[in-house]
Amino acid sequence: MAVPLNENSLDFEIIDFNKNISHNCYEYFKRTFDSTPENTWYLDDLGVRKDKRRRGVAKRLLKTCLTKLNSKNVFLRTSDSNNQAQLLYQNLGFRHIDGLYTQVSHKRLDGSVREDRRIIMLRQAEPIE
């Protein structure tokens, strides 16, 4: 799923690890990258069925999506321990924004809650010729 930067749905906190302060995600992107819903999109919920992985499905999906979003900045969150997803994103031009992370709580099927620390990765728009 890819959605334009949106004040209402992208309202999670981003923590700056170095300065020990947190920012509202929407405000942070607006201020730091001059982001607007027109020039910046957010990518979420990428997953490939277990038995279909390692066949290039995610890469093809992302390439198709990013071709359409070539003139936009695109950012995402991914778990800081998810090396395979990070590699996938890096190879498609995403860079880890150093020092920033978000903390996400998941409720699992068994009712337990898992805390997940996620890094932020950004792919900046192709410069206009």
Q: Which residues bind ligand COA (CB under 6 A)?
A: 46-48, 53-59, 78, 82, 84-85, 87-88, 91
| Shortest reach from residue 106's CB to ligand COA, in Å | 12
Question: What phi-psi label fits residue 59: left (phi over 0), alpha (psi between -120 and 50 degrees) or beta?
Answer: alpha
CB of 105 to ligand COA, least distance (A): 16
Q: Which is nearer to ligand COA, 73 or 78 (CB)?
A: 78
Indicate the SS3 state at residue 10: coil
The crossing angle, in degrees rounded to 10, of helices 57-68 and 83-91 is 40
* Nearest approach, Cβ of residue 111 and ligand COA (Å): 21
